[in-house]
Structure 1
Amino acid sequence: MSLLDPRAPLRRLYRYGFRYRPQMRWAIFCSIMNKLCDLAPEILIGAAVDVVVRRDQSFLASLGLPDPVLQVGLLGVLTLLVWGGESLFQYLYQLAWRRLAQTMQHELRLDAFAHVQKLDMGFFEDRSTGSLVSILNDDINQLERFLDNGANQILQITTGCLGVGIVFFLLQPTIALLSMLPMPVIIIGSIWFQGRAEPLYAEVREKAGLISARLANSLTGIATIKSYTAEVRESEALGADSQNYRAANGEAIKLSSAFIPVVRMAVLSGFMVTLVYGGWLTLEDKLAVGAYSVLIFLSQRLLWPLTEMGATVDLYQRAMASTRRVLDLLDTQAPADDHGTPLALADVKGDVRFDAVSFAYAGRERVLEAVSAHIPAGTVAAFIGTTGSGKSTLAKLLMRFYEPSQGQVLLDGQPISSLRIRDLRRAISFVSQDVFLFDGTVGENIAYGAVGRAGWPTQGDIERAARLAEAHEFILGLPQGYDTLVGERGQKLSGGQRQRLSLARAILKDAPILVLDEATSAVDNETEAAIQRSLETIAVGRTTLVIAHRLTTIRHADQVFTVEDGRIVEVKGKAEWHGSAEA
């Protein structure tokens, strides 16, 4: 793909980084100035040779400085300034590029992560967590490495070629033309290499993502692996993925390794032209000795750095493959959460209605078919049915994790599709059967329910929520109480303890709507009873949707909807439900 193509990763990266133009320009300026100072000593050496050989007939003498001693003195001062300038600009460009790399890495990772959090749930069904982690971490780090070193190297090589080329043409146009004959070979070779390397490095990044996915999946399921004594199998599977990565990387390395010797031979031919033809011109008194010295020295500065192009282009291609993956992720269409009608939490009454709602997950048959249900504000509604009947999908539609294929969901008479997503979700406390706890303390996990509210909750607020969830007693029995670390995903706690913390978190959120999605399906009788007692208190004054398959869980429901094969087949009011349950 051509760099001029708007889809080219470098152009896309430049568009993304447009806000960093001042930093980019300063870094570029410092790199160019460093290279120009780096080239100047060779010119000064040639001038010194010219002074020693020609004395009062030297080039400097023609500028009005006939005394050779003064000429040498001037060259000494200029050398000091040039070396000082080179050192200064090297410090400045390293500082500028590294700051830019760190800033862009930081901002790009935050932008990508923020964007990922906005994507709908369907996106995550098609991608592994490990692959996304690989993009957000490894790929962005690869881009940082390029900005740290590669960008400066490309600029310095380009500046060196242009600067030396100008000096060559000023001193001896014929030698300039002959010595630059290898340049088209090097440029064409670089373009060819880029075309061949791009798909190879894209595959390398894909294979790296698969390894990350494998590791994340295995470490998350370590208990299952151990219980089935599948450690050897998992190691073999990782070995196969790692071997695929190794093979893909080997093909890319083979190509980049072949590039360097080709460039080296092209460089050698250019240097030989300067050495032999320039030497003949000097012997024939057609070229000054000082000028010949400058050409010899500069030919190396022009051509030998090109031997590093293989490594530089290799770094560039790896970075561009990573950039493509990151920017493709950023370009993934996300629902617009800033659009829609604002919803003030204080104005939410909690009247929920499903109006002829149908839904199908991508590539699957419909799981809901023309479902209609009305849950008045402040009441408790239960949805019961067999596994896979579609009852949990109703909760996901209410949270707008997905959008209905047909029909609509309304809150207080307004279609939720017209509301601002974050306002809608702030109005709902959600407790899932798949409890997720963060790797922090018990108190921090409960306090997470207050995210988005003004001010951080006090210890009293946290303990009140824990008491309502009947979690306070067991928390006090933990080694450090509320400061006890729960471990990744709460693995240091039992399933019932995790569920009670999840309920406490939802209680602390204090939203007008509470959704319990199979919240007691995987807990013991004691925990279920505790959650039931909690519900009698926290359901008062708020709309509560209970999705369950245990009848004991829904005994306090004002109405019960029975869901079968994606349809509501029966609706019972409180009196009717209690009468049939007792019978």
Structure 2
Amino acid sequence: MTDVSPTPPAAAPAPAPAAEAPPLRRLIRYASGHRRAALVSTGWSVANKAFDIAPELLIGVAVDVVVRGRGSIVSSVFGVDDRFHQLVVLALVNVVVWALESVTEYLAAIGWRSLAQTIEHEARMDAYAHVQRLELGALEDRETGDLLAVLNDDVNQLERFLDVGANRLILTVMNVVLVGLVFVVISPLLALLAFLPIPVIAFGSLAFQRRLEPLYATVRDRAGAVGAVLANNLAGLATIKSFTAEDREVARISAASLAYRDANREAIRVSSAFVPLIRMAILAGFTTTLVVGGKAALDGHLEVGAFSVLVFMTQRLLWPLTQLGEVLDLYQRGMASTRRILDLLDVPARIVGGEETLATPVAGAVRLNDVRFSYHSLGEVEVLRGVTLDVPAGETHAIVGPTGAGKSTLVKLLLRLEDPTSGTVSLDGVALPRLRLESLRGALGYVAQDVFLFSGTIRENVGYGRPGASDEQVRGALAAAEALEFVAALPDGLGTLVGERGMRMSGGQRQRLSLARAILRDPAVLLLDEATAAVDTETEAAIQRSLQTVSHGRTTIVIAHRLSTVRHADRIHVLEAGRVVEAGTHDELVAAGGRYAGLWAVQTGEAGPAAAR
């Protein structure tokens, strides 16, 4: 995880006005670095619309040639008197216009699509990078599937709007402006009559936009809910099958999918009503131009060619407005997705790196001083209550205690996945918030109980913490973790694919590969969080032998439930209800006859469960 900001951990949240601004304004602000590309693309769209309406003008000019002959516009401009030659000139102009229309359409499409793809890529990467920078607590209320919906589906919806909707919106606006200018030049009266339906269309569009906005916000939320349930169920297929709950889960997915479908249907029902209303406004405008303009032409107040232009231009003016329904649909879908993407980006990252770097070589002295911590989801309930620990460099310390005592929370604080509510955590005398994140985490090696392996080869997974490590270095780490023997026996050796989350490996194999990954990193401090809790006796023995080797001269902090795995630790800290209630060597704690002695008696079969209370 890369530290990208020197802001202290207590950075203030993003200002409220930014989050409350309309999504389009937020999007423009977000994409401000691409203003030049947007202006160039807009220029091509405007030019394309100008050449697009030119053929209607040429039709009027052609009618003028047939009706007036020598007095036509072509005759006046080009000095050609013969009508046929005038038509030839007009045909050549038409070819040039169509060619320029095609070229500008191509350039506009390339410009907008390139811009859409670029912003799509940047939005996805910015959102993903921001998720990685957020502390775990900021994500605990969000389902993985919902985050996937933002990073994938919402980003794609934004791309569709930028690719198609933005260009169409510009073309529609420029169509009204350019055609309006033609009307004003030819007949101001007909321009006024032709434009009468536009206010109706404009107000109707705004009304539909307000109506559609909450509907598409609901659609995007329902899409996130479907993604969350699907992601959760795919991860728990083994559990679903073991409890024969397939039908129940199909019904649950169906309910979420139907809710998404119904939300979409409601949005589609409202948006589909837009075009028929627009058609009625177009009919009124076209009929007015036809009757009033025709009467003016019959009375000799309007040239026949000009009347022909206006008849065609009326449709050109009003008919594209029917696409406003589709544009509004794309716009509202895109803005609903934009809001979700930018809302995620606006979540402030509390845990950011400092400016200091650990002195090398890192000694590995760890200290927690009066540390208190509460998870956001648990409200004010403290998980850690004034914990003080001192782990000298090079020693092995164990933290034991019942489930829920706060053992794993300590590891999160050491990795700075969370920050304490109060108190300090330091490494080599430097408070963790003052350290650059890469400096801190680069000095730590972490092995979790729930091992996560990436879909890839053994070589890639073991070398994950040390990019560029040679095969010999990888094999050395595997040997230290007592994993080389089983890896060498595999047909593809280091190139063996472990499967998604390492599912092709056994639990013990995954654990040893995870230990090898931490060893290859050669950390100053090795953190083991219940590393042997879910493995068989043989694997546990192998891991214990490995730890005796790799922990020599290295600070090692072991979170353990099985006391037999930590009896040789330099010091054992007994954690209960968020407090350290005992500390000492194994022999000292057993002799003291306290909480640890009771746990030891239960695990060795020397006493009943009551002794552990």
| 1:395 aligned onto 2:411 | yes
**Aligned counterparts of 2:199 and 2:542: Cα–Cα separation in 1:** 79
| 1:129 aligned onto 2:175 | no
**Amino acid of the structure 1 residue aligned with 2:363:** K
**Aligned counterparts of 1:6 and 1:170: Cα–Cα separation in 2:** 44
Aligned in 2, Cα 1:500/1:383: closer, same or farther, shift over 3 Å?
A: same
Residues 100-115 of structure 1 correspond to what in structure 2 (within 5 A)?
A: 100-115=115-130
**Aligned counterparts of 1:55 and 1:541: Cα–Cα separation in 2:** 103
Q: Percent identity?
A: 53
Q: Deviations over 1:11-44 (max 9, x none)?
A: 1111111111222112111111111111001001
| 1:166 aligned onto 2:166 | no
| 1:154 aligned onto 2:169 | yes
**TM-score when scaled to structure 2?**
0.91
Please report how far the alpha carbon of residue 7 of structure 1 lies from its aligned counterpart in structure 2 after TM superposition.
1.1
Q: Please, which of 530, 549, 572 is the counterpart of residue 560 of structure 1? A: 572
What's 1:366 paired with?
382
Q: Deviations over 1:144-194 (max 9, x none)?
A: 111221111111111111000000000000010011111001111111111
Residues 479-490 of structure 1 correspond to what in structure 2 (within 5 A)?
A: 479-490=491-502
| 1:512 aligned onto 2:512 | no
Please report how far the alpha carbon of residue 403 of structure 1 lies from its aligned counterpart in structure 2 after TM superposition.
1.0
Please report how far the alpha carbon of residue 346 of structure 1 lies from its aligned counterpart in structure 2 after TM superposition.
2.3
Q: Please, which of 199, 208, 222 is the counterpart of residue 184 of structure 1? A: 199
| 1:447 aligned onto 2:467 | no
Secondary structure of the 2:161 match is helix
Residues 26-45 of structure 1 correspond to what in structure 2 (within 5 A)?
A: 26-45=40-59
Q: Please, which of 277, 286, 301 is the counterpart of residue 286 of structure 1? A: 301
What's 1:475 paired with?
487
**Aligned counterparts of 2:523 and 2:457: Cα–Cα separation in 1:** 23
- 8 A contact 1:345–1:427 mirrored in 2: no
Q: Please, which of 229, 241, 266 is the counterpart of residue 214 of structure 1? A: 229
Please report how far the alpha carbon of residue 477 of structure 1 lies from its aligned counterpart in structure 2 after TM superposition.
2.3
Please report how far the alpha carbon of residue 573 of structure 1 lies from its aligned counterpart in structure 2 after TM superposition.
3.5
- 8 A contact 1:555–1:578 mirrored in 2: no
**Aligned counterparts of 2:491 and 2:225: Cα–Cα separation in 1:** 39
Aligned in 2, Cα 1:227/1:479: closer, same or farther, shift over 3 Å?
A: farther
**Aligned counterparts of 1:394 and 1:248: Cα–Cα separation in 2:** 44
Please report how far the alpha carbon of residue 79 of structure 1 lies from its aligned counterpart in structure 2 after TM superposition.
0.7
Please report how far the alpha carbon of residue 315 of structure 1 lies from its aligned counterpart in structure 2 after TM superposition.
0.9
What's 1:540 paired with?
552
Secondary structure of the 1:520 match is coil
* Higher mean C-alpha deviation, range 385-394 or range 477-486: 477-486
Aligned in 2, Cα 1:29/1:295: closer, same or farther, shift over 3 Å?
A: same
Please report how far the alpha carbon of residue 345 of structure 1 lies from its aligned counterpart in structure 2 after TM superposition.
6.4
Please report how far the alpha carbon of residue 447 of structure 1 lies from its aligned counterpart in structure 2 after TM superposition.
0.8
**Amino acid of the structure 2 residue aligned with 1:146:** F
Aligned in 2, Cα 1:558/1:126: closer, same or farther, shift over 3 Å?
A: same
What's 1:375 paired with?
391
**Aligned counterparts of 1:228 and 1:10: Cα–Cα separation in 2:** 47
**TM-score when scaled to structure 1?**
0.96
Residues 97-496 of structure 1 correspond to what in structure 2 (within 5 A)?
A: 97-335=112-350, 337=352, 339-344=353-358, 346-364=360-378, 365-451=381-467, 456-496=468-508
**Aligned counterparts of 2:553 and 2:377: Cα–Cα separation in 1:** 40
**Amino acid of the structure 1 residue aligned with 2:86:** Q
**Aligned counterparts of 1:278 and 1:305: Cα–Cα separation in 2:** 21
Aligned in 2, Cα 1:514/1:570: closer, same or farther, shift over 3 Å?
A: same
- 8 A contact 1:51–1:68 mirrored in 2: no
**Amino acid of the structure 2 residue aligned with 1:330:** L
**Amino acid of the structure 2 residue aligned with 1:386:** P
**Aligned counterparts of 1:104 and 1:5: Cα–Cα separation in 2:** 19
- 8 A contact 1:274–1:296 mirrored in 2: yes
**Amino acid of the structure 2 residue aligned with 1:402:** E
Please report how far the alpha carbon of residue 68 of structure 1 lies from its aligned counterpart in structure 2 after TM superposition.
4.2
**Amino acid of the structure 2 residue aligned with 1:33:** A
Aligned residues: 575
**Aligned counterparts of 1:5 and 1:377: Cα–Cα separation in 2:** 46
**Aligned counterparts of 1:357 and 1:187: Cα–Cα separation in 2:** 61
Q: Which runs of no fewer than 5 residues in structure 1 stay unpaired?
A: none
* Higher mean C-alpha deviation, range 14-23 or range 116-125: 14-23
**Amino acid of the structure 1 residue aligned with 2:558:** V
Secondary structure of the 2:486 match is helix
Secondary structure of the 2:501 match is helix
**Aligned counterparts of 2:138 and 2:543: Cα–Cα separation in 1:** 33
Q: Please, which of 498, 509, 528 is the counterpart of residue 510 of structure 2? A: 498
Please report how far the alpha carbon of residue 57 of structure 1 lies from its aligned counterpart in structure 2 after TM superposition.
2.0
Q: Which runs of no fewer than 5 residues in structure 2 stay unpaired?
A: 1-17, 602-613
Secondary structure of the 1:500 match is helix
- 8 A contact 1:437–1:489 mirrored in 2: yes
**Aligned counterparts of 2:509 and 2:589: Cα–Cα separation in 1:** 31
Aligned in 2, Cα 1:344/1:417: closer, same or farther, shift over 3 Å?
A: closer
Q: Deviations over 1:124-150 (max 9, x none)?
A: 211111100010000111111112211
- 8 A contact 1:377–1:543 mirrored in 2: yes
Secondary structure of the 1:346 match is coil
Q: Please, which of 573, 577, 581 is the counterpart of residue 585 of structure 2? A: 573
Please report how far the alpha carbon of residue 64 of structure 1 lies from its aligned counterpart in structure 2 after TM superposition.
6.5
**Aligned counterparts of 1:114 and 1:345: Cα–Cα separation in 2:** 28
Q: Please, which of 53, 57, 77 is the counterpart of residue 71 of structure 2? A: 57
Q: Deviations over 1:271-310 (max 9, x none)?
A: 1111111101100111000000110111111111111110
**Amino acid of the structure 2 residue aligned with 1:303:** L
- 8 A contact 2:351–2:418 mirrored in 1: no
Please report how far the alpha carbon of residue 5 of structure 1 lies from its aligned counterpart in structure 2 after TM superposition.
10
Secondary structure of the 1:240 match is helix
* Higher mean C-alpha deviation, range 229-238 or range 59-68: 59-68
**Amino acid of the structure 1 residue aligned with 2:567:** R
* Higher mean C-alpha deviation, range 310-319 or range 473-482: 473-482
Please report how far the alpha carbon of residue 312 of structure 1 lies from its aligned counterpart in structure 2 after TM superposition.
1.1
- 8 A contact 1:135–1:209 mirrored in 2: yes
Please report how far the alpha carbon of residue 65 of structure 1 lies from its aligned counterpart in structure 2 after TM superposition.
2.5
Please report how far the alpha carbon of residue 253 of structure 1 lies from its aligned counterpart in structure 2 after TM superposition.
0.3
**Aligned counterparts of 1:186 and 1:273: Cα–Cα separation in 2:** 16
**Aligned counterparts of 1:64 and 1:242: Cα–Cα separation in 2:** 66
Secondary structure of the 1:510 match is coil
- 8 A contact 2:524–2:554 mirrored in 1: yes
Q: Deviations over 1:472-531 (max 9, x none)?
A: 111122232211111111111111111111101001111101100111111111111111
**Amino acid of the structure 1 residue aligned with 2:417:** F
